[in-house]
Amino acid sequence: MSAVTSRLSRQQEKKLCSMLGCNRLSLLFKASVHGYSGGAFHQKCNLQGPTVTVGYNNSGYIFGAYTSKDYAQTNQNIIDEKAFLFSFNEREMKKDPLRVVSGAGQYSLYDGPTGPHFQSLVFLYDDTATVYSNPGNYNFDPVEMHGNNLQLVECEVYRVEGAGSLMEKPWRNISWTSERRKALMDMITGWTHGVSSVKQARVLLVGPVGVGKSSFFNSISSVFKGYVSSQANTGSAGTSLTTQFRTYSMKAGKDRKLLPITICDTMGLEDGVNAGLDIDDFTSILKGHIQDKYQFNPSVPLQPESNSFCKEPSLRDRIHTVVYVIDAGKLKLISNKMIEKLAAFRRKANQMGVPQLVLLTKVDEACSSVMVDLKTVYQSRYIHKMMQEICVNLGVSLSNVVPVKNYSQDLELDPQTDILLLNALTQMLRATEGFFEDFNEKDE
């Protein structure tokens, strides 16, 4: 997931944003990664709202098109009064970009099965790394547009983020007051369930590399410590930064009372075979065979003969809730292989009767309005859409998806960030109650 990066430099993104009147561009599709085909393009870009297509050729031209409409493969010609084609040259960044609109009343784009199709400019033409170019509906000089070089070295599509991205009312009601924050903390600290031999809910975090699993533990721990701390290692690397299985207990407040929850952090999942957390190790973790500080070996899962294998785990060693952690800004870039891996994990957890939730991280990075004001998280159309997409991809219901912003660069706690984190933790404890409802004292 982390390998898919934008080709646009920050300066070029700024240039496009000033032309589009938007705050940010968020990469949805990259042909060199997802494929030079109409099918791959539609899979990533349908129903994303306003988007901009950007083509690159090796004559240094960066050219493309903007549409304010959704792609939906309706096979219709569409009039979009806001659509335009643009071009600028890497070597002449200071010059104003070329901007061309279609003639009045003419069709601006064709929403068929092809790549981005702006009548006079069609990207991924014939499912290849080329552009079809023929001024007509849009009137341009091909030399100015692309230097007459129709061979693409890359083609990207970005979601355009800006005004109009918020719903009028939040679709989930959240109280953002300090009283609510305190009530959530009290509820979590005092949480109990029906099985007396197990004092702590054991919650496992799994998900792709770099999505914020370790940061979530650090963030929760910070809320209860009263200051931002970073016990677990976090950061960005090509492969998982966390390579051990870690179980973290946490203490609250001045009297250092043990919280009734243990967060279990794992190595991230990767696309390839023999890379990242493996399904056999996942199953052993669920059953309680893997202990704190176990060093994962992605090419060989832990064997029952090994000294590290806990042979007779008790109910308290088992996982009581699994949380799939997903990066809100990168959901569109998740590969099919990763979706399949997550589905296999889900099937295993379902078979074992373990409740499951999805934690949507980095909502601040994914939506500029949320970055400015976290309270808009349930008003952001984009976050709402991402939560719905997760439901489809992972087969969970919307009520089992919770968004958070982790503490990543902050030095001080922020009440809104805390409330979202505490809400997520509350959902995890509620899910765990479901696990324990299947047990009673006799089963222990």
Ligand X SMILES: Nc1nc2c(ncn2[C@@H]2O[C@H](COP(=O)(O)OP(=O)(O)OP(=O)(O)O)[C@@H](O)[C@H]2O)c(=O)[nH]1
Give residues in contact with ligand X (CB under 6 A). 209-215, 234-236, 240-242, 268, 361-362, 364-365, 405-406, 408
Burial (CB count <10 Å: 0-12, 13-18, 19+), residue 225: middle
Minimum CB separation of residue 316 from ligand X in Å reads 24
**With CB cut-offs between 5 and 8 Å by kind, which of Mg ion, ligand X, none does residue 212 bind?**
ligand X
Closer by beta carbon to Mg ion, 29 or else 216: 216
**With CB cut-offs between 5 and 8 Å by kind, which of ligand X, Mg ion, none does residue 364 bind?**
ligand X
Pairing assessment for the beta strands 131-133 and 257-265 based on DSSP bridges: unpaired
Closer by beta carbon to ligand X, 124 or else 421: 421
Amino acid at position 61, single letter: Y
Pairing assessment for the beta strands 257-265 and 201-206 based on DSSP bridges: parallel
> Could you write out the DSSP letters of every residue in 253-306?
TTTTEEEEEEEEE-PPB-SSTTSBS-HHHHHHHHHT-S-TTEE--TTSPPPTTS
Q: Nearest Cα to 329, choosing from 362, 373, 374?
A: 362
The answer to whether 195 and 315 are in contact (CB under 8 A) is yes
Minimum CB separation of residue 221 from Mg ion in Å reads 14
The answer to whether 237 and 252 are in contact (CB under 8 A) is no
Closer by beta carbon to ligand X, 48 or else 406: 406
Binding interface with Mg ion (CB under 5 A):
213-214, 242
Minimum CB separation of residue 203 from Mg ion in Å reads 15
Closer by beta carbon to Mg ion, 242 or else 406: 242
**With CB cut-offs between 5 and 8 Å by kind, which of ligand X, Mg ion, none does residue 37 bind?**
none
DSSP 8-state symbol, 380: B
Pairing assessment for the beta strands 356-361 and 401-403 based on DSSP bridges: parallel
Residues 6+ apart with CB under 8 A from 17: 23, 24, 25
Q: Nearest Cα to 366, choosing from 382, 390, 379, 378?
A: 382
Closer by beta carbon to Mg ion, 214 or else 432: 214
Minimum CB separation of residue 380 from ligand X in Å reads 14
**With CB cut-offs between 5 and 8 Å by kind, which of ligand X, Mg ion, none does residue 193 bind?**
none
Minimum CB separation of residue 242 from Mg ion in Å reads 3
Minimum CB separation of residue 216 from ligand X in Å reads 7
Q: Which two tokens stand for residue 170?
A: 């939040």
Minimum CB separation of residue 360 from ligand X in Å reads 9
Which residue sits closest to ligand X, CB atoms considered?
268
> Could you write out the DSSP letters of every residue in 207-227?
-BTTSSHHHHHHHHHHHHHTS
Numbers of helices and strands, H then E, in the chain: 12, 17
Minimum CB separation of residue 221 from ligand X in Å reads 12
Closer by beta carbon to ligand X, 28 or else 263: 263
Minimum CB separation of residue 219 from ligand X in Å reads 8
* 46: three-class secondary structure by DSSP: strand
The answer to whether 404 and 426 are in contact (CB under 8 A) is no
DSSP 8-state symbol, 184: H
**With CB cut-offs between 5 and 8 Å by kind, which of ligand X, Mg ion, none does residue 403 bind?**
none
Closer by beta carbon to ligand X, 241 or else 413: 241
Q: How far apart are CA 327 and CA 334, in angstroms?
A: 10
**With CB cut-offs between 5 and 8 Å by kind, which of Mg ion, ligand X, none does residue 165 bind?**
none
Q: Nearest Cα to 269, choosing from 212, 312, 209?
A: 209
**With CB cut-offs between 5 and 8 Å by kind, which of ligand X, Mg ion, none does residue 211 bind?**
ligand X
Closer by beta carbon to ligand X, 54 or else 367: 367
Closer by beta carbon to ligand X, 122 or else 422: 422
**With CB cut-offs between 5 and 8 Å by kind, which of Mg ion, ligand X, none does residue 210 bind?**
ligand X
**With CB cut-offs between 5 and 8 Å by kind, which of ligand X, Mg ion, none does residue 408 bind?**
ligand X
